[in-house]
Amino acid sequence: KKLISLVQSQYSLLCSGRPHKTLGNLMNINGKTLPTLIYPKLQHFSRIRSRGLYFNGNMGLTYTFLFLILYASLLAKPVSSGPTSSAHHTKESSISDISQLRPKWINPCGYKKFHHGSKLPPNFPKINPLSEKQMLNNIVNIAYQALQHSVRFQSEYVKKTFSVDNWKDHHELWRDQKLGWLPSWEEIPKHLNEKTKLKHLVELEITTALKNMYVFLQKIAVGLEQIVIDKLVNGGDNDEFIHKFNEAEYKLKSVLCEIQGALIEMKSYEDIKESQVTRNVMPHQWRQMNSQHNRNLRDWLIYRDYMNGLEYIIDSFKHKLKNI
């Protein structure tokens, strides 16, 4: 309990912007040395909106805390070589601690509202709203960066995880399978590595598409988080792909931030009920999976839908940009 309390207090200090001082203090606690931290580069988004909003700059610390609180829980409740129920209990309590963290997909930019009618702070810079073309172009660019990041480890991940030589063969085998809580084929009407049909692109209305994309990406973010949690619990820092999926989480958060910003510019963000996409959208049976084979397949379907969703966003807004 003392260790968990210390980790929580250190996390508060991390959020205050002094990570270089606190991380050193965490390296040795009660004679126990913590392993190397998975500490992603802080995400700083340059957008500052003029519509009564300002940006909360502390981002990217969630995963560090996730790792610390899990590790602290494991130290606080060492697993014996006896019945597996004790290990299961430790895992449950650790994940319970993690689940108390604010989801990365809720308010991804970290915006805070001023009270209506209040004056802006002194020396607050005057910001000209982005044009629709600029907003869509930003979304396409950041979605493309996120997609390229995942494509780079796609082949190696499939080969090592499923013992197949060609990721495309594996994809074809499971091509028509989908997890029911993730976006449906109607919401993303395409398959990975295929172009979206022109008829669908023509019918898209930009604001409606942005709202829908925001929500379906949030659902995918729930799945990516669980991939990272399970890899942390079952393999820790020794899992060679945990860093990749953790980075994918933050790439996705960047895409969500751009869409959130665009919806705010269009005065459509308030139509979205942020609280509707909670961790509960992912059913319990898809979280507590004892079979590594089943977890691997679940992870592939989430990862595949993540990349497919990014392709869909790029296709959709590149088409719209041609007509603006």
| Assessment of whether the complete model's pTM goes beyond 0.85 | no
| Residue type at position 97 | D
Predicted pLDDT of residue 116: 43
- Total domains present in the chain: 1
Q: Give dist(CA 250, CA 42) in Å, integer.
A: 9
Q: Give dist(CA 83, CA 88) in Å, integer.
A: 9
| 263: CB partners within 8 A, 6+ apart | 207, 210, 211, 214, 269, 272
Q: Is the pLDDT of residue 53 over 70?
A: no
Enclosing domain of residue 55: 2-321
Q: Is the pLDDT of residue 133 over 80?
A: yes
| Token digits of residue 150 | 């995942």
**β pairing state of 53-55 and 28-29:** unpaired
How does residue 99 score in pLDDT terms, banded at 50, 70 and 90? low
Between 74 and 223, where is the model more confident? 223
How does residue 319 score in pLDDT terms, banded at 50, 70 and 90? very high
Q: Give dist(CA 256, CA 276) in Å, integer.
A: 15
| 215: CB partners within 8 A, 6+ apart | 272, 276, 277
Strand (E) or helix (H) holding 149? helix 132-162
